[in-house]
Structure 1
Amino acid sequence: MSARTPTRTPGTGGADVRLPWWAVALPVVAFTALLLLVTGPGQAHASGGEPAVGRILEQIQHTLSR
């Protein structure tokens, strides 16, 4: 017994896709939270030592210059 192939009727263009509410809300909430973390200074203070990013970049430069 063979399976029937679904056929489309002409004139029904486009996909009928429905997303749940959380599929739209979660990315919006995540983007907003990250935007607030980046733009808001908060209680961040600079550390007294050498920044870790600078040390990592120096290590990469040293490795690539070999």
Structure 2
Amino acid sequence: MTARTYTRVRPAVTGVDTRLPWWALALPAAAFVALLLLMAGSEGARAPLGDAGAGRVMERIQQTLSL
């Protein structure tokens, strides 16, 4: 006894219609800005003397944003 194979008939796709909800872009952007502000606003926190890499990155970002 053989089993029937059902195939779905798909309509021809003429273009991609992908729509994201508003929060799919807003939430990652808000999280990025919040973390950036936390890093930039930590004036009281000081790194050990030998580790200045994060400070240089923050200075570069600050220079780029102040243009």
Q: TM-score, normalised by structure 1?
A: 0.49
- Bigger relative CO (Cα 8 Å, ≥ 6 apart): 2
